[in-house]
Amino acid sequence: MFKLDKLILRLGVAALITVAAQFTFAQSGLAQFPGIGRVATPAEVKAWDIDVRPDFKGLPKGSGSVEKGQVIWEAKCASCHGTFGESNEIFTPIAGGTTKDDLKTGRVASLKDMKQPQRTTLMKVSTVSTLWDYIYRAMPWNAPRSLTPDDTYALVAFILSLGEIVPDDFVLSDKNIAEIKMPNRNGMTTKHGFWNAKDKPDTNGSACMHNCVPFVQIGSTLPDFARNAHENIADQNRMYGPYRGANTTKPPIKQLPGTSGLGLAQAVETHSSAAKGPSVLFKNENCSACHAPNAKLVGPSIADIAKKYEGQSGAVDKLSIKVKVGGAGVWGSIPMPAQAQLSDEDRKTLVLWMLSGGK
Amino acid sequence: MEKPTNQARLVKAPEHFISQELIADINTNGLDENRRGFLRKGFLSALGGVSAGLVAPLAMAAGEGDPAILEKQEWQTTLGKNVATMPYGVPSIYESNLIRRESPGLTRVSAASVAFTPLQGLFGTITPNGLHFERHHQGWYNVNPETHRLMVNGMVKNPRVFTMNDLMRLPSVSRTHFIECGANTGLEWGNVAVPTVQYTHGMLSCCEFTGVPLKVLLEECGADFKKGKFMLAEGGDGSGMTRTINLESCLNDTIVAWAMNGEMLRPENGFPLRLVVPGVQGVSWVKWLRRLEVGDAPWGSKDEAIHYIDLMPNGDHRQYSSIQECKSVITTPSGGQQLLDKGFYNVSGMAWSGRGKITRVDVSFDGGNNWRTARLETPVLTKSITRFNIDWVWDGSPSIMQSRAVDDTGYIQPPIKTLRNVRGTRSIYHNNAIQSWKLDTNGEVSNVQVG
DSSP 8-class letter at B407: E
Predicted confidence (pLDDT) at residue A161 exceeds the cutoff of 80:
yes
Interface of A with B in 107-166 (CB under 8 A): 107-109, 111-112, 114, 119, 121, 124-127, 129-130, 133-134, 137-138, 141, 144-145
Average pLDDT over residues A94-104: 95
Residues of chain A positioned with their CB less than 8 A from the CB of B290: 48
List, for residues A274-294, the tens digit of each pLDDT value.
456 888 788 777 787 778 888
What pLDDT, in 10s, does the model give residues A56-70?
999 999 999 999 999
Specify whether the backbone of B144 is left (phi greater than 0), alpha (psi in -120 to 50) or beta. beta
Give the burial string for A205-216 (b: 16+ CB within 10 Å, else e). Answer: beeeeeebbeee
> Measured between beta carbons, which residues in chain A are less than 8 angstroms from residue B110?
283, 288-289
Instruction: Give the pLDDT score at B353.
Output: 98
How many other β-carbons are positioned within 10 Å of the β-carbon of residue A198? 11
CB contact residues (below 8 A), chain A span 48-77, against chain B: 48-51, 53-55, 57
Measured between CB atoms, does A269 come within 8 Å of chain B?
A: yes
Within an 8 Å CB–CB cutoff, is residue B319 touching chain A?
yes
The verdict on A23 touching B (C-beta cutoff 8 Å) is no
Where does the pLDDT of residue A42 fall: very low under 50, low under 70, confident under 90, or very high at 90 and above?
very high
Q: What is the pLDDT of residue B51?
A: 35
Do A220 and B191 count as a contact with CB atoms less than 8 A apart?
A: yes
On whether any CB of chain B is under 8 Å from the CB of A190, the answer is: yes
Cβ-contact B402, B420 below 8 angstroms:
no
**CA distance between the termini of chain B:** 29
**Cβ atoms within 10 Å of B100's Cβ, excluding its own:** 18
Distance of CA A252 to the CA centre of its chain: 38
Contact B320 A190 (CB under 8 A): yes
pLDDT digits over B350-365, tens only? Answer: 999 999 999 999 999 9
* Closest residue by Cα to residue A278 from A197, A352, A194, A215: A352
Q: Which residues of chain B have pLDDT under 50?
A: 1-14, 45-60
Residues of A in contact with B8 (CB under 8 A): 258-260
Cis peptide before B333 (omega within 30 of 0): yes
Contact B426 A220 (CB under 8 A): no
What pLDDT does residue A20 have?
41
Nearest CA in chain B to A26: B160
Q: According to the model, what pLDDT value does residue A306 have? A: 86
Q: Are B95 and A238 in contact (CB under 8 A)?
A: yes
pLDDT in tens, A302-356: 888 888 888 888 888 888 888 888 777 777 766 777 777 788 888 888 888 888 8
User: Where residue A129 falls among pLDDT bands split at 50, 70, 90?
Assistant: very high
Q: Which of A2-16, A161-175, A240-254 has the lowest mean pLDDT?
A: A2-16
In angstroms, the separation between the Cα of residue A79 and the nearest Cα of chain B is 14
d(CA B261, CA A177): 47
Q: What is the pTM of this model?
A: 0.83
Instruction: Tell me the percentage of chain A whose pLDDT exceeds 90.
Output: 54
Using the Cβ of A276 and the Cβ atoms of chain B, whether some distance falls under 8 Å is answered with no
Subunit contact B154:A2, Cβ cutoff 8 A: yes
* B34-84 confidence digits (pLDDT tens): 666 666 555 554 443 333 333 333 344 557 899 989 999 999 999 999 989
Contact list in B for residue A129 (CB cut-off 8 A) is: 300
Taking the Cβ of residue A296 and every Cβ of chain B, the question of whether any pair is shorter than 8 Å is answered with: no
Alpha-carbon distance of A329 to A336, in angstroms, equals 9
Q: What is the pLDDT of residue B56?
A: 33
